[in-house]
Structure formats: C-alpha cells, structure tokens
Chain A
Amino acid sequence: MAEVVLLDFWGSPFGMRARIALAEKGVKYEYKEEHLLTGKKTPLLLETNPVHKKIPVLIHNGKPISESLVIVQYIEDAWSDTAPLLPADPYGRSQARFWADFVDKKIYDQGKKIWANKAGEVQEAGKKELIESLKLLEGELGEKPFFGGETIGYVDVALVPFYTWFYSFETIGNFSIQAECPKLIEWVKRCLERESVSKSLVDPEKVYVDLILVLKKMYGYE
C-alpha cells in the first residue's frame, strides 16, 4: 500500500476537504474511489472505518483516520512544517475550530432540506436557514481575503467544498446564492485561484446531474 491513501467519493464535500489539505501540504497520495452509488462498500473501507463505514478515510502508513475535520487536523499535525492551516495562537485556533464546527452543524443538513424535497415548507425552510448560515459566515469573513487571513486556512478548507453543491441547491430550490451572498461567492473565486482547491473541487454541474439527481431517484426524493 502507498504511504498515504485516501478513500474517497468524487462528489463528497467531506472528501474534498481532505484533498485540499493534502494538496496544500504537497503530500503525494493514492486516491481510491469508493463507488458509493452502487451501494457497495469495499472491504478496505469497512476495515478502516468500522464505526461509521464512511468516506473519507485517510490511511497513513497503514493507520486509518476518519471524519473529515479530524483528518484535516491530522494532516495539519503530521505535516506541520509546511502551509499551516491553523494559526499558532490558541485563541485564533479556537475561533477556527468554532467556525468549522458551525459549517459542520449547518450547511449539509440545511442544503439537504433543499435538494431532497419538492418545493414546499421544508425546502423553503432549508433555503432560509442556508442563506442565514452563509450570511453569518460572510460576516465572519469580513474584509479578509480568506477565513484564514492572507492565505487559506482550516475554515476555508471546511467550507469551500460545499460550493460544488450550490448549483444543485439553486437549481432545485430556484434561488440564487450569489444574489444573497455575493461576498461569499467572491471568496469562493479567490479560493479557486489556488491549485489545491481548483484541483480538488469537482464541476458543480456534474454534481447536479451525476450525483444529486441520481440520489433523488435512488431515495425517491422527488
């Protein structure tokens, strides 16, 4: 097995977090695709993440780490001499952890209310809540180029992958995130100028056609 292996799924924002962090640190790794849409999980996934059976899983010298933000923090600790994603001071670190946790608590679930439902109360609630969350994040960004300050950091890595799902939310929910949160979209564009991000994020339209619409059919969310 290669020294660093990432078990991942192409359309997962959680997997993309790990991809960005590894790229930022210049770590060579072997990417292994889990074909989640087939409903089958590989023996390697079940063996390396028996508790949750989910991607991403990072395997470093044969030892597995699971949960995307735990993985990103591990990458930060294990390759600490380059491209730090967290500030050195404890208060700054606690702020970064707080906002990454905020992203985790809000964005996926609020987005799911939009894409997994027909037009109606639940979808409307999802749209309202998502915009509220994104506006709070915009507020936290303020005038900084990135959440991490002058360069991308932990919160940028935690949040930017969800951009690949925005097109799906907007198309299904019939609204525009750009119109509500223009500064956030500008921030996304700045992130995409970094190769670590542009090479880790997938095409939003592909997410819509090959993932979200497929999931909607698979689970009967139509």
Chain B
Amino acid sequence: MAEEVILLDTWVSPFGMRARIALAEKGIKHEHREEDLGNKSDLLLKMNPIHKTIPVLIHNGKPVCESNNIVQYLDEVWPDKSPLLPSDPYLRGQARFWADFVDRKVFDAGRKVWATKGEEQKSLMEEFIGHLKTLEAELDGKLYFGGEKMGYVDVTMVPIYSWFHAYEVSGNFSFESHCPKLVAWAERCMQHDSVSKALPSPEKVYQYVLQLRKRLGIE
C-alpha cells in the first residue's frame, strides 16, 4: 500500500522544523502543507482538536500531534534509516530527559523573551542563556548529543538555531561569546541537508519577530 504522509506546519515554527528534519533524515516522501495560524484550516482543526496547533503529522489519514511525539513516531515506524533514539534503555532515558529539558526550559524561556521588554526581557534572556550553557555542558565534547551521529536531542534542539540571529540583534549580544561549543554544534548540524533545508533563513525569522512584537504591542 502506498504510504500517505502529510505534515501540517508553519515555516517559522521550531516545532515544525523538528518534524521536517526527522522526515528528511529518514528520506520519507511527504506532502508539506503550510498553515495560516490566523485562519486555521478545517483539516488542522479536525486532526488536532485538542490543541489546534502545528505540527500535525497525518499518516494514512491518522493524526500524530506534538512535535517530539511526531519525531518518536517517525523513529518507530521508519527505524532503519537514521535511527534517532538509541536502543539501550538507559541512553533512551537520557535522550528523553534532555529532549524534555529542551522543551520545558530552553524553548519555553526562549519563547517568553519575545513577549517582554526591558528588565523582564533581560532577566528572561539570562535564564535562556543559562539553559543553553547547561545543554552545552551535556554535549561535553561529543560531536552531537546523539554521539557520533545526530539523534533525538539534536533534532529537538537545533531548530532554535534559526532564531539565534533574532535573539542576538534584539538582545545586543552574541551566543558565540556565551556558549561557543553549542554554536559549533549547531553549525555542525547545519552541514546536514536535512537540517539546512528545514531551517528558514535567520534574517527572515528576525523580520517575523519584529512583526510579532508589533502585533503584541511591545514595539
């Protein structure tokens, strides 16, 4: 039977990028559909009635929601090419722990930065950088979080790299000076087509952020 794989997504979403990278790593043919979050499609609302967010993977008509969940699902259905989670239970546990850290700490702090300004924003930026340093320490000389090859944590984390330029311009600092090893890791990931094609241009993301902050009435 022919596999039908559709990804509902938006170009700027780091969560969507995770799914894009995993699909590309595994060479899975799929249809990519761009959603307008200001005018959500009937399909999106039907496939993700609970959260109404992207990304949503629709595999042979059945939806899988939540980006990390999608990545794990792809890894289980297409295990042979580019396995993302290790087979050893302890290492799997560690990978899940760090993917959860990326979600609940890194991405969460990163997101809140855009909704604030002044002292509050400065303090959130510091928190964000603190979490990046924790991750950098976990990398600990490895090429990737997955070891010799990119793995689950790499896929979960690297999308935020497309937003680094926006953070640097807004906050007037450089990530290189705070976490050079993490920046080097991100650039290493960007050598992979699966990553460089999934991430939008940093300048485009920065323009998006400027519009977002205008819409939120912050600037």
Contacts and interface: CB of A to CB of B under 8 A. Distances in A.
B50 A73 contact: no
Interface in B67-102: 69-70, 72-73, 76-77, 89-90, 92-94, 96-97, 100-101
A interface SS class: helix
Given A94-B69, A98-B65, A65 B50 contact: no
A183 B162 CA distance: 46
Given A60-B90, A102-B50, A91 B64 contact: yes
Contact of A90 (B73, B96, B101): B73
Interface string A38-55: 000000000000010000
A77 interface: yes
A93 B93 contact: no
B93 A101 contact: no
Contact of A91 (B73, B94, B101): B73
B90 A74 contact: yes
Interface in A75-133: 77-78, 90-91, 93-94, 97-98, 101-102
A91 B73 CA distance: 7
B66 interface: yes
Contacts of B66: 97-98, 101
Interface residues of B, number: 22
B90 A70 contact: no
B62 interface: yes
B128 to A, nearest CB: 15
Interface in A121-170: 136
B7 to A, nearest CB: 14
Given A67-B97, A91-B62, A91-B64, A51 B73 contact: no
| The 9 A-B residue pairs with the shortest CB-CB distance in the complex, in nearest-first order | A77-B89, A90-B76, A74-B93, A94-B73, A78-B89, A65-B93, A70-B96, A94-B64, A90-B77
Interface of B: 50, 59, 62, 64-66, 69-70, 72-73, 76-77, 89-90, 92-94, 96-97, 100-101, 134
